[in-house]
A and B are shown apart, each in its own frame.
Chain A
Amino acid sequence: AQTVTQSQPEMSVQEAETVTLSCTYDTSESDYYLFWYKQPPSRQMILVIRQEAYKQQNATENRFSVNFQKAAKSFSLKISDSQLGDAAMYFCAYRTMRGAAGNKLTFGGGTRVLVKP
């Protein structure tokens, strides 16, 4: 079974600075998707960024970018120019492309991001 590990329970960043969240995963699959989700306090979880494993190029969405290292099974998220609205729980998630098992997301335990003004 696939597992996703986020080793940083909490990260603090100064407004306008950069923070990097780490994520590692364990899988025997070669084709899969990786996601970062943001969950603000008492609000719904929203998709921040996705990465297809077959793509070598790292995904970027505005101030959010990933460093995808397939061989190392590592998928870190970098938040640049941090804003107060970035404060939230961030979850790394894995989804295989293979058959019925690809129908669910497996989440890591989350990293809480605090943004200091």
Chain B
Amino acid sequence: DTGVSQDPRHKITKRGQNVTFRCDPISEHNRLYWYRQTLGQGPEFLTYFQNEAQLEKSRLLSDRFSAERPKGSFSTLEIQRTEQGDSAMYLCASSLADRPRYGYTFGSGTRLTVV
């Protein structure tokens, strides 16, 4: 297992287009998180899954955002009708539910630029 993988690493899209990002967590981790990080800021929580269930969504996650984790394995984050304000780094992380003291393992992120 090589850790948390995110694809693509970079995405440039025109305003109004839809984009989808993928995250492959560490295989034995049952929790998966999505965060958004704008330049020079700390990551902000978007949503998280335990297995295939989406258990919490931030108010930052507008109706244009949707996340799925079918079968409790990889996850996708889709942004519809992208806006310039969506430009950010989207980070995925995973963890074990019964090991909270170990924090998360993060992926390298997907940098989205909306032009």
Contacts and interface: CB of A to CB of B under 8 A. Distances in A.
The 10 closest A-B CB pairs, nearest first, are: A107-B42, A45-B106, A44-B108, A104-B45, A109-B42, A47-B103, A44-B106, A107-B43, A35-B103, A110-B42
A45 B31 contact: no
A4 B107 CA distance: 22
Contacts of A105: 33, 43, 45, 103-104
Given A33-B100, A104-B45, A110 B109 contact: no
Q: Decide if the interface of chain B is mainly helix, strand, loop or mixed.
A: mixed
Interface of A: 4, 6, 33, 35, 37, 42-47, 50, 52, 91, 93, 95, 97, 100, 102-110
A93 to B, nearest CB: 8
A50 B41 CA distance: 21
Given A44-B106, A44-B109, A95-B100, A104 B43 contact: no
Contact of B56 (A35, A95, A104, A109): A104
Nearest to A48: B103
Interface of B: 3-4, 31, 33, 40-45, 48, 50, 55-56, 91, 100-104, 106-109
A52 B101 contact: yes
B42 A103 contact: no
B71 to A, nearest CB: 20
A46 B107 CA distance: 9
B101 A103 contact: no
A110 B41 contact: yes
Contact of B55 (A33, A35, A103, A107): A103
B56 A91 contact: no
Given A44-B108, A110-B41, A103 B103 contact: no
A91 B42 contact: yes
